[in-house]
A and B are shown apart, each in its own frame.
Chain A
Amino acid sequence: MDFARARTMMVWLAAGIIFDLLLVESNSVQILLGNSAELTGYWLFGIMVFLALFNLRKKLSMLPLGNASTWLLLHAVGGILALATYWLHTQSIWPNGIYERALAVLFYLTVLSGIAGYVVQRVYPSKLTQTGVEVIYDRIPGHIAELRANAEALVLKCCDETRVDTLGQHYLDTMEWFFRRPRFGFSHVAGSQRSRQWIRQQDANVRRYLNDEEKTYLDELTNLAIRKNRIDVHYALQSVLKRWLVFHIPVTVALMTLSVWHLMVVNVYAL
């Protein structure tokens, strides 16, 4: 068994033991007619604070605080543990009361966005690799501008040399739209092949009206479009990989804020 697999098993085992102990202790309190929500509430808050520390670990990369991959595993397994502890704490999936429901909405949004983020992080990297190109996200606008400039130069050259503007008109009518900025974002995110089909269709639409000389230019233009499409895939998928955190972190901050207030209110009025 390799290190990564053994580490994963150990963390899951530890999470299981923690939850079992919590469950036993919670039942014991209830049997003694005590309030187990206090116990599970503090545990839940503690787990949430620990989960939030992952972001701090990222900021403190200069310190030997262990591998980020171990932290991510703890974060993911801890998130599942937090969900189980939340249900144990509330004794229901959907609590009563406006404030509790607000907390529940934020909690579920945090968990769901976390799961969604985990899934896209597992699925998208290989999809990016399969494009056959590798681009740095910040440089994508530059790559697209370069491809657009190449496409326009190609079309102008075609018009100049063939003295026919069929391809030029086609570019202005359809392809210019495609080269202007990243396109088919939702299709790429959903894993659809619509963009490739669109490029093939545009090629077929105009090819029948071109002479042999123009067709060589169209071939080059289509190749540029295919390259641009690969960069579009990178733009769409890398955008998701980067932006899901823009949702996950704010809802986490909101959840933590409301949780602290909840804790204060409970301590002042209920205990």
Chain B
Amino acid sequence: MGERDVEMLRARPEIAAIDDDAFPDNTPLEGIIRNDTRIVRYRPGDIVVREGDYGNSAFLVLSGKLRVFTGDYPDDLLGRGSVEKKGLFAALAQIWQNSIIPEVRDKSQFSTQALRQESSKGSRARRRESTARVFVQDIPVVLNEFKTAQMVEGALFGELAALGRIPRTTTIFAETSATLLEIRWQGLREIRRFDEGFRRIIDTRYRENALRIHLRETALFSGLDEDSLSKVVDATLFETYGAFDWHVSYQRMRSSGQTGAQNEPPIARQGEYADGILMIRAGFARVAREYGSGQRTLTYLGAGDSYGLEELYAGWKTGKSVNLGTSLTALGYVDALRVPAQVLEKYVFPNLEIPPGPVVDGIDRTLAEDALLEWAVEERFINATQAMLIDLNKCVRCDDCVRACGSTHGGNPRFIRHGKTFDHWMVANACMHCADPVCMIGCPTGAIHRSQVGGSVVINDDTCIGCATCASSCPYSNIRMAEINDRRGVALIDSESGRPILKATKCDLCSTNPGGPACVRACPHDALSRVDFHHDTLGDL
């Protein structure tokens, strides 16, 4: 960002209101503006954020008008389209319709992307405009048919999704030409940390918009009356741990050989006083206990889980201070709520119908029994909701699963029967449909998204521009960039770059085929299953 832009931004009332002196010398506000923000211009109709997308930035409207959908609207408005299951005949027709050439696409499908044969200036210009962003067409009709609200200069949005690593809750598009300041999550975090006013604004918005509902849906607080719940809402603190782009720091940590709880950002330490319960809103955290010269993993927590309740309750019940029996570390990025002990003791514990379990004071399992859990946590497979787990003691390496996948995906399998192994288990390189889908962060067109039905992570081939952001982000290397061909086997070439057009490909759980994942059904030895490491009992696998 240039000097003039920085000066212009500093002069704006929203930025000028931030207390410059509150920032330390090594993290000045000007440095944050320069490094963590950018000015983005949108044309009428351009979608700024889409409901369901994961984003790592917030937006401040500098000029122009935006519209936010406040009611229902069709998915195809967002460039996603709906996925329909094939009928039996359509599924069978794949036998003769599948080409021996892999990744064949209908050229006419890519009318908005320039191909070698369509190298006119017009098509290039059109490509620049149309492939970078998905846009709402015919704004007057959309405004007429669907409920929307206007957002004007000075409005800030997207900060809760960016800081909380949760999906965007609404869709916003430009009604007129608009200029926005995009603030990366790192910048947001620093501004929130050092500026009291900004922190108050964000926290108030979260309290007003989501916290009350979130607590009401939690078993611990569901029985509270409105007044008591308000007291809990007012006292709750927001905390984040670890890096947002945890996959980068994790890969760095792995390559340096420094893994394990002792190398992860601490949230709570064993033996410390519990000053409140921590409720995980997003991400994963490892619960561990000192064992020998290291930390032994007891379990891990995900969204909706809480930590420290047992100690606090035991302390309140006995009138003595009970220290934490375990430690808690961030497995990547963790967004948590801390409900202070005083509030719990006053409003929650006296009315608790089912008391929490006892404080952990020992481990009654052997190292061998916990080894698989330790491995799954270490490799971050806990993120999986549909990991492809192969029992190597049953697998005859026949590749029927690979062939079945290929036959349901135009001849090109969407996974590799290879991956990390532990004992006789292998987690193959197939999309795990993560609970925290890092791949979805930064997709410029929202092509990779969570399916409305079933919640699997799928890619809209039509809006994928082959930028490989998702493939680079996936910590498990489960997304492949594939060159696409026409029906004669000729690679489709981007006329602008002269390079083959790429599409991101990955397992979609056979979402368009009847009968569920073909790989599971095709295994004659029941060696292959899709597992959720968070819900399926590791010991039962």
A4 at interface, CB cutoff 8 A? yes
Q: How far is the CB of B477 from chain A (nearest CB, A)?
A: 15
Q: How far is the CB of A32 from chain B (nearest CB, A)?
A: 43
Q: How far is the CB of A131 from chain B (nearest CB, A)?
A: 10
B91 and A63 contact, CB distance less than 8 A: yes
Q: In the bound complex, how far is the Cα of B187 from the Cα of A135, in angstroms?
A: 45
Q: How far is the CB of A199 from chain B (nearest CB, A)?
A: 24
Checking A4, A134, A241 against B398 with a beta-carbon cut-off of 8 angstroms, the contacting residue is A241
B213 at interface, CB cutoff 8 A? no
Checking B94, B393, B524 against A68 with a beta-carbon cut-off of 8 angstroms, the contacting residue is B524
- Please tell me which stretch of B49-57, B220-228, B399-407 contacts chain A, meaning at least 4 of its Cβ atoms lie within 8 angstroms of it: B399-407
CB neighbours (8 Å) of A66 from chain B are 521
A134 and B392 contact, CB distance less than 8 A: yes
CB neighbours (8 Å) of B526 from chain A are 4, 67, 69
CB neighbours (8 Å) of B91 from chain A are 62-64
B418 and A68 contact, CB distance less than 8 A: no
Q: Which of A52-78 contact B (CB under 8 A)?
A: 58-64, 66-69, 71-72
CB neighbours (8 Å) of A242 from chain B are 397-398
A129 and B397 contact, CB distance less than 8 A: no
Q: How far is the CB of B522 from chain A (nearest CB, A)?
A: 5
A124 at interface, CB cutoff 8 A? yes
B408 and A61 contact, CB distance less than 8 A: yes
Q: How far is the CB of A189 from chain B (nearest CB, A)?
A: 15
Checking A68, A126, A137, A238 against B400 with a beta-carbon cut-off of 8 angstroms, the contacting residue is A68
A-B contact count (CB 8 A): 85
Q: In the bound complex, how far is the Cα of B525 from the Cα of A190, in angstroms?
A: 23
B514 and A128 contact, CB distance less than 8 A: no
Q: How far is the CB of A69 from chain B (nearest CB, A)?
A: 4
A136 at interface, CB cutoff 8 A? yes
B398 and A62 contact, CB distance less than 8 A: no
Whether A58 touches B400, Cβ cut-off 8 Å, given contacts A125-B392, A128-B392, is yes
A121 at interface, CB cutoff 8 A? yes
* A-side interface residues, number (CB < 8 Å): 26
A241 and B521 contact, CB distance less than 8 A: no
Q: Which residue of A lies closest to B88 (CB)?
A: A63
A64 and B514 contact, CB distance less than 8 A: yes
Q: In the bound complex, how far is the Cα of B428 from the Cα of A136, in angstroms?
A: 12
Q: How far is the CB of B379 from chain A (nearest CB, A)?
A: 15
Q: In the bound complex, how far is the Cα of B524 from the Cα of A121, in angstroms?
A: 10
A61 and B404 contact, CB distance less than 8 A: yes
B230 at interface, CB cutoff 8 A? no
B301 at interface, CB cutoff 8 A? no
Whether A61 touches B521, Cβ cut-off 8 Å, given contacts A125-B394, A125-B395, A128-B392, is yes
Q: How far is the CB of A123 from chain B (nearest CB, A)?
A: 10
B403 and A61 contact, CB distance less than 8 A: yes
A62 and B397 contact, CB distance less than 8 A: no
- A-contact bits for B392-431, CB 8 A (1 contact / 0 none): 1111111010011001100000000110010010100000
B92 and A134 contact, CB distance less than 8 A: no
Q: In the bound complex, how far is the Cα of B407 from the Cα of A87, in angstroms?
A: 40
Q: In the bound complex, how far is the Cα of B194 from the Cα of A245, in angstroms?
A: 69
Checking B393, B421, B523 against A126 with a beta-carbon cut-off of 8 angstroms, the contacting residue is B393
Checking B394, B421, B513, B515 against A134 with a beta-carbon cut-off of 8 angstroms, the contacting residue is B421
Among A72, A129, A241, chain B packs the most CB atoms within 10 A around the CB of A129
Checking B92, B394, B403, B424 against A63 with a beta-carbon cut-off of 8 angstroms, the contacting residue is B92
Q: Which of B485-541 contact A (CB under 8 A)?
A: 513-516, 518, 520-527
Checking B400, B513, B520, B524 against A62 with a beta-carbon cut-off of 8 angstroms, the contacting residue is B513
Checking A62, A69, A121, A124 against B407 with a beta-carbon cut-off of 8 angstroms, the contacting residue is A62
CB neighbours (8 Å) of B527 from chain A are 125
- B-contact bits for A104-138, CB 8 A (1 contact / 0 none): 00000000000000000100111011000010110
Q: Which of B37-96 contact A (CB under 8 A)?
A: 88, 91-92, 94-95
A238 and B397 contact, CB distance less than 8 A: yes
Q: In the bound complex, how far is the Cα of B91 from the Cα of A90, in angstroms?
A: 43
B521 and A137 contact, CB distance less than 8 A: no
A62 and B518 contact, CB distance less than 8 A: yes
CB neighbours (8 Å) of A137 from chain B are 397
Q: In the bound complex, how far is the Cα of B430 from the Cα of A72, in angstroms?
A: 25
CB neighbours (8 Å) of B92 from chain A are 60, 62-63
Q: In the bound complex, how far is the Cα of B94 from the Cα of A49, in angstroms?
A: 25
CB neighbours (8 Å) of B407 from chain A are 61-62
B522 and A61 contact, CB distance less than 8 A: yes
Q: How far is the CB of A183 from chain B (nearest CB, A)?
A: 20
CB neighbours (8 Å) of A59 from chain B are 95
Q: In the bound complex, how far is the Cα of B425 from the Cα of A129, in angstroms?
A: 9
B88 and A68 contact, CB distance less than 8 A: no
A129 and B404 contact, CB distance less than 8 A: no
- A-contact bits for B150-182, CB 8 A (1 contact / 0 none): 000000000000000000000000000000000
A-B complex: 9 closest residue pairs judged by Cβ atoms: A64-B515, A61-B404, A72-B524, A68-B524, A129-B392, A69-B526, A126-B393, A61-B522, A62-B408
21 sampled A-B residue pairs with Cβ under 8 A: A58-B400, A60-B92, A61-B522, A62-B91, A62-B404, A63-B88, A63-B515, A64-B91, A69-B523, A69-B524, A121-B525, A125-B395, A125-B527, A128-B392, A128-B397, A129-B393, A129-B424, A134-B418, A136-B397, A136-B418, A241-B398
A-B contacts besides A126-B424, A128-B392, 14 pairs, CB < 8 Å: A61-B403, A61-B408, A63-B515, A64-B91, A64-B514, A64-B521, A69-B524, A124-B396, A125-B392, A125-B525, A126-B392, A128-B397, A129-B393, A241-B397
Question: A interface vs B, CB < 8 Å?
Answer: 4, 58-64, 66-69, 71-72, 121, 124-126, 128-129, 134, 136-137, 238, 241-242
Question: B interface vs A, CB < 8 Å?
Answer: 88, 91-92, 94-95, 392-398, 400, 403-404, 407-408, 417-418, 421, 424, 426, 513-516, 518, 520-527
